[in-house]
Amino acid sequence: MRIIHTAPLSPMNLAEIQAAIDRETEILQKKIDKRQCILDTYVGDPTRLTLELEKWKAELAIWEKCRSWISQVH
Protein backbone atom coordinates (compact mmCIF):
# COMPACT_ATOMS: atom_id res chain seq x y z
CA MET A 1 0.00 0.00 0.00
CA ARG A 2 1.34 3.42 -0.88
CA ILE A 3 1.22 6.19 1.71
CA ILE A 4 0.11 9.60 0.50
CA HIS A 5 1.87 12.56 2.16
CA THR A 6 0.11 15.88 1.80
CA ALA A 7 0.13 19.40 3.13
CA PRO A 8 -2.92 20.61 5.05
CA LEU A 9 -5.99 19.46 3.18
CA SER A 10 -7.52 21.81 0.68
CA PRO A 11 -10.21 21.06 -1.92
CA MET A 12 -7.55 20.49 -4.57
CA ASN A 13 -5.58 18.12 -2.34
CA LEU A 14 -8.76 16.24 -1.46
CA ALA A 15 -9.50 15.73 -5.14
CA GLU A 16 -5.97 14.44 -5.72
CA ILE A 17 -6.28 12.06 -2.78
CA GLN A 18 -9.64 10.82 -4.00
CA ALA A 19 -8.20 10.24 -7.48
CA ALA A 20 -5.25 8.31 -6.03
CA ILE A 21 -7.58 6.17 -3.92
CA ASP A 22 -9.77 5.53 -6.97
CA ARG A 23 -6.72 4.41 -8.96
CA GLU A 24 -5.51 2.10 -6.19
CA THR A 25 -8.93 0.53 -5.66
CA GLU A 26 -9.41 0.04 -9.39
CA ILE A 27 -6.03 -1.70 -9.72
CA LEU A 28 -6.71 -3.91 -6.71
CA GLN A 29 -10.20 -4.81 -7.88
CA LYS A 30 -8.85 -5.88 -11.28
CA LYS A 31 -6.20 -8.02 -9.57
CA ILE A 32 -8.84 -9.57 -7.30
CA ASP A 33 -11.19 -10.31 -10.20
CA LYS A 34 -8.40 -11.86 -12.27
CA ARG A 35 -7.18 -13.98 -9.35
CA GLN A 36 -10.72 -15.15 -8.61
CA CYS A 37 -11.13 -16.28 -12.23
CA ILE A 38 -7.87 -18.19 -11.98
CA LEU A 39 -8.92 -19.82 -8.70
CA ASP A 40 -12.30 -20.83 -10.13
CA THR A 41 -10.55 -23.10 -12.65
CA TYR A 42 -7.31 -23.90 -10.80
CA VAL A 43 -6.61 -27.62 -10.32
CA GLY A 44 -3.49 -27.41 -8.14
CA ASP A 45 -3.01 -26.38 -4.52
CA PRO A 46 -4.74 -23.00 -4.23
CA THR A 47 -3.19 -22.04 -0.88
CA ARG A 48 -0.69 -19.46 -2.13
CA LEU A 49 -3.16 -17.95 -4.58
CA THR A 50 -5.88 -17.78 -1.93
CA LEU A 51 -3.57 -16.11 0.59
CA GLU A 52 -2.59 -13.48 -1.96
CA LEU A 53 -6.24 -12.92 -2.86
CA GLU A 54 -7.16 -12.43 0.79
CA LYS A 55 -4.27 -9.98 1.24
CA TRP A 56 -5.53 -7.92 -1.70
CA LYS A 57 -9.09 -7.98 -0.36
CA ALA A 58 -7.86 -6.72 3.02
CA GLU A 59 -5.89 -3.94 1.31
CA LEU A 60 -8.93 -3.00 -0.76
CA ALA A 61 -11.01 -2.75 2.43
CA ILE A 62 -8.44 -0.33 3.87
CA TRP A 63 -8.57 1.84 0.75
CA GLU A 64 -12.39 1.81 0.88
CA LYS A 65 -12.22 2.98 4.50
CA CYS A 66 -9.84 5.78 3.47
CA ARG A 67 -12.24 6.77 0.70
CA SER A 68 -15.06 6.94 3.24
CA TRP A 69 -13.02 9.17 5.56
CA ILE A 70 -12.09 11.50 2.71
CA SER A 71 -15.76 11.70 1.67
CA GLN A 72 -16.68 12.70 5.22
CA VAL A 73 -14.04 15.46 5.21
CA HIS A 74 -15.12 16.68 1.81
Whether 6 maps to a domain, the answer reads no
Cβ-contact 2, 60 below 8 angstroms: no
Whether pLDDT at 26 is above 90 = yes
- Backbone torsion region of residue 4, taken as left when φ is above 0, otherwise alpha when ψ lies between -120 and 50, otherwise beta: beta
Q: What is the 3-state secondary structure (H, E, C) of the chain?
A: CCCCCCCCCCHHHHHHHHHHHHHHHHHHHHHHHHHHHHHHHCCCCCHHHHHHHHHHHHHHHHHHHHHHHHHHHC
**Structural domains of the chain, count:** 1
Q: Give the residue numbers spanning the domain of 45.
A: 11-73
The structure's pTM equals 0.75
Residues 47-71: tens digit of each pLDDT: 999 999 999 999 999 999 999 988 8
Whether 16 maps to a domain, the answer reads yes
CA gap 44, 27 in Å, rounded:
26
